[in-house]
Chain A
């Protein structure tokens, strides 16, 4: 990576629980939350962090924030040690936890004022956020809907215009209109050099705004890739209709190395899922007369499911 890394995670390993061996008996249970997780996020980048429930996303995020003690590995944020320099790091970050909750007996405005004491808000940007988000900040947060409470969380995390945003499911509960506005803000912040670490279940969201994506499965980072490359390199949907003269048999297509899946439709079309390189397909198709051919990149959801299969 040529650009300055804002977040650097190397060989992060986190184990929950303990096992005690007494003779042949074993007591307790060890659960691996994260194992040898390594990745980095560059300045001004939006990094999408994907994984199913319990895959280890929250473990990684809570480790970065020094809420959890890691067994092995190193984490640095702004080249500072996540543990020793935690206070310094927290001056420069904004965070929305996955299960966002704030003090229920405070109004949105009171929360903004309260948290301003700890991390100074960017007044101009805060006013802009007030106009963008529709939540009534005069209402106590306990009376707000979950979506509106989430808006309060977004305002709080963004208000100081931090250099690094850690967002865990930030758009959960938001309506599509607010989500679109929120994405627009994130893209603008990225242009201004803000680094964003976005953990999300919403693959469309990740696909729409992220530059790179990391996929975690069973506590292990199984992939870190540029979104565009990933789409190019990964699955592709091919629809082909052969001229009536020479049509390959379904079985023959299934046996091709580069074909992951094939279906024959009633209209005579073959729908193929192929992996990575398109060249072998093109070479193979040369032997046939083609009436119609379309090739599309798979969406992130399919790629994600492919890695999770």
Chain B
């Protein structure tokens, strides 16, 4: 029933597992250096007091890295944003454009499978492997916290796993929403280079809107047009609550883009 999904899942397992795994392993690395790092936190605090840095870093500028959750959050914010931009631009865009580039689409679509299903199953592979990212991050956060509690008991390290779960749901929802937007761009354009350009411009443009809107109050409104503004890791960790409204915004945007992509791909002519 889901042969395309399963076959691609197996064929892409190396990249699909190794990348989330390495992201997770970095959490262990941060945990290993954090006890030393916190001793130099005063120097960081002085730097972070600068309004320029605070504007550039947004929420991160107010993080207290002398606490383990703060250091963890700093890492997550910095690494995940850029990783997410890269993954969301390249992987979903290439679902179809790579088939066009390698001229494999004509043979595949000569078999009796609806185009929308072919696209959905391949997008499912992206969703599956992007789910591994929060799962690995949670696992390694747990292991890191255990390590710190065991080896540095005097630091009274604690972590709220419920809030971490909320923020991980947020991460995955952002992957879903951004991925669906990139997929939509790719089936609309089809031409591999142009599609990649449009996906990159759209997603990076949204990232800039989020950053610019966060920097200046007068243009704050622009950040609401960015997927990056919803269910952010930092905001969830700071508030400690699940942002239901944000969740539905991401779900709505993601579903609209995905359904749009499926409909367009099902009906459009494959001219390339």
Contact = CB atoms under 8 A, between A and B. Distances in A.
Given A67-B109, A114-B7, A117-B3, A103 B104 contact: yes
Interface string A83-96: 00001101101111
Interface string A8-42: 00000000100000000000000000000000000
Interface in B152-192: none
B271 A68 contact: yes
Given A105-B11, A114-B7, A69 B107 contact: no
Contacts of B106: 62, 65, 67, 95, 97
Contacts of A101: 102-104, 107
Interface string B87-113: 000000000000000111011011111
A304 to B, nearest CB: 26
Interface residues of A, number: 30
B114 interface: yes
B112 A87 contact: yes
Given A95-B107, A117-B3, A69 B269 contact: yes
A119 interface: yes
Q: Which of A105, A117, A156 has the most CB of B within 10 A?
A: A117
A119 B111 contact: yes
A102 interface: yes
A99 B7 contact: no
B47 interface: no
Q: Which of B3, B109, B110, B112 has the most CB of A within 10 A?
A: B110
B242 to A, nearest CB: 40
A56 interface: no
Contacts of A103: 11, 102, 104
A93 B110 contact: yes
Contacts of B103: 97, 99-101
A48 interface: no
Q: Which of B7, B104, B106, B113 has the most CB of A within 10 A?
A: B106
B214 to A, nearest CB: 42
A44 interface: no
A118 interface: yes
A160 to B, nearest CB: 9
Given A101-B103, A103-B104, A114-B3, A68 B269 contact: yes
A100 B107 contact: yes
A28 B269 CA distance: 19
A176 B270 CA distance: 34
Interface string A54-91: 00000000100101110000000000000000011011
B111 A16 contact: no
Contacts of A96: 107
A150 B35 CA distance: 61
B112 A91 contact: yes
Nearest to A70: B269
A262 to B, nearest CB: 47
A68 B269 CA distance: 5
B112 A102 contact: no
A153 interface: yes
A95 B107 CA distance: 7
Contacts of B270: 62, 67-68
Contacts of A65: 106, 109-110
Contacts of A202: none
Contacts of A118: 3, 111-113
Contacts of A69: 269
A95 B110 CA distance: 7
A106 B107 CA distance: 14
Contact of A67 (B7, B104, B113, B269): B269
Contacts of B109: 65, 67
B104 to A, nearest CB: 5
A5 to B, nearest CB: 21
A115 interface: yes
Contacts of A68: 269-271
A90 B104 CA distance: 16
Contacts of B11: 103, 105-106
B131 to A, nearest CB: 23
Nearest to A111: B107
A16 B112 contact: no
Contacts of A153: 107
A106 B271 CA distance: 26
Contacts of A97: 103, 106-107, 110
Nearest to A90: B112
Interface of A: 16, 62, 65, 67-69, 87-88, 90-91, 93-97, 99-106, 114-115, 117-119, 153, 156
10 contacts: A16-B271, A62-B106, A62-B270, A65-B109, A68-B270, A87-B112, A95-B106, A97-B106, A114-B7, A117-B3
Q: What 5 A-B pairs come out closest when comparing CB atoms?
A: A118-B111, A101-B103, A95-B110, A90-B112, A117-B3
Given A62-B270, A95-B110, A97-B103, 19 more contacts: A65-B106, A67-B109, A67-B269, A67-B270, A68-B269, A68-B271, A69-B269, A88-B112, A96-B107, A97-B106, A97-B107, A102-B104, A103-B102, A103-B104, A104-B102, A106-B11, A114-B7, A118-B112, A119-B112
